[in-house]
Amino acid sequence: NAGVMQNPRHLVRRRGQEARLRCSPMKGHSHVYWYRQLPEEGLKFMVYLQKENIIDESGMPKERFSAEFPKEGPSILRIQQVVRGDSAAYFCASSPPAGGTLETQYFGPGTRLTVL
Amino acid sequence: DAKTTQPTSMDCAEGRAANLPCNHSTISGNEYVYWYRQIHSQGPQYIIHGLKNNETNEMASLIITEDRKSSTLILPHATLRDTAVYYCIAHDDMRFGAGTRLTVKP
């Protein structure tokens, strides 16, 4: 059973470009979470999604950031018009269907975004 | 949502037990305590979780006080590969704090 997959592992963008980060959850998992980790800092929750639904986006910046988890295919975290401050590691995690409270999350290896 | 407090850093000698404390004095009755760790630059790794009772698995033991206001993660025989940042989470919405940076020394 493959783990959570993220691609690309490394992404370089120039200021003003768009960044698209993909996350494929573990087989059988229908919940996806995105986190951001700035250098030398802890993980910061961004968004929690189920298939075709955003459950909690309280950690998402109000502008330029969006996330989706379509019925088919991976979850996508999209950052428009990237700025240098967006440079960070972005981690995705998935968990199986649950009763609504915190479930064990399994993390991917992360995508390291560098904005030049 | 309960907030957690952990020491910023700890050292442990290789082969000895590492005891990592976590305070979660505002935890509610149905909130689990979860522990994850993050080895340098890798994705966080699940370790263990519990509600009221002490728990043990192949990685660690979790001791939760009777009043549930604090817990301790125990790595019984720490190895150099256990050097990592350890996160304690005690709420429903997966807010990671700064964690404890554990350094296992030879």
The model's pLDDT over B27-64, given as tens digits with 9 standing for 90+, comes to: 887 888 999 999 988 999 999 999 988 999 999 999 99
What strand order describes the sheet that includes B18-23? B18-23, B70-75, B61-64, B55-56
Q: Do B46 and A109 touch (CB under 8 A)?
A: no
A1 pLDDT exceeds 80? Answer: no
What local confidence, expressed as pLDDT, does residue B103 receive?
Answer: 97
Distance from CA of A66 to the nearest CA of B (A): 19
Lowest mean pLDDT among A5-9, A94-98, B45-49, B90-94: B90-94
- Could you say which of B85, B93, B97 has the minimum Cβ distance to residue A56? B93
CB-based contact, B91 to chain A, within 8 Å: yes
Is some CB atom of chain B closer than 8 A to the CB atom of A109? yes
d(CA B33, CA A103): 11
pLDDT tens digits, A61-76: 999 999 999 999 999 9
CA distance B79 to chain A (A): 22
> B46 and chain A: CB distance < 8 Å anywhere?
yes
Q: Is A109 close to B42, i.e. CB distance below 8 A? A: yes
> pLDDT grade, residue A4 (50/70/90)?
very high
- Surface of A (59-88) touching B: CB under 8 A: none
State the average pLDDT for chain B.
Answer: 91
Q: How far apart are CA B75 and CA A37, in angstroms?
A: 26
Q: Chain A contact for B87, CB < 8 A?
A: yes
Rounded to a whole number, what is the distance in angstroms from the first to the last CA of chain A? 37
- Please state, as a whole number, how many other Cβ atoms lie within 10 Å of the Cβ of residue B40: 7
pLDDT above 90 covers what percent of chain B?
74
Q: What is the mean pLDDT of residues A25-31?
A: 90
Per-residue pLDDT at A59 exceeds 60 = yes
pLDDT tens digit string along A70-96?
A: 999 999 999 999 999 999 999 999 988
Which of A86, A24, A84, A93 lies closest to A61, judged by CA? A86
- Provide, as residue numbers in chain B, all residues whose Cβ is less than 8 Å from the Cβ of A43: 38, 44, 87, 96
What's the pLDDT band for B1 if we cut at 50, 70, 90? Answer: low
Q: How many A/B residue pairs have CB atoms within 8 Å?
A: 57
pLDDT of residue A101: 46
Kindly report, residue by residue over A38-51, the tens digit of the pLDDT.
988 888 999 999 99
The pLDDT score that the predictor gives to residue B92 is 65
DSSP string, chain A: ----EEE-SEEEE-TT--EEEEEEPPTT--EEEEEEE-TTS-EEEEEEEETTEEEE-TTS-SSSEEEE--SSS-EEEEE-S--GGG-EEEEEEEE---SSS----EE---EEEEE-
A4 has a chain B CB within 8 A of its CB = yes
Mean pLDDT confidence for A13-18: 98
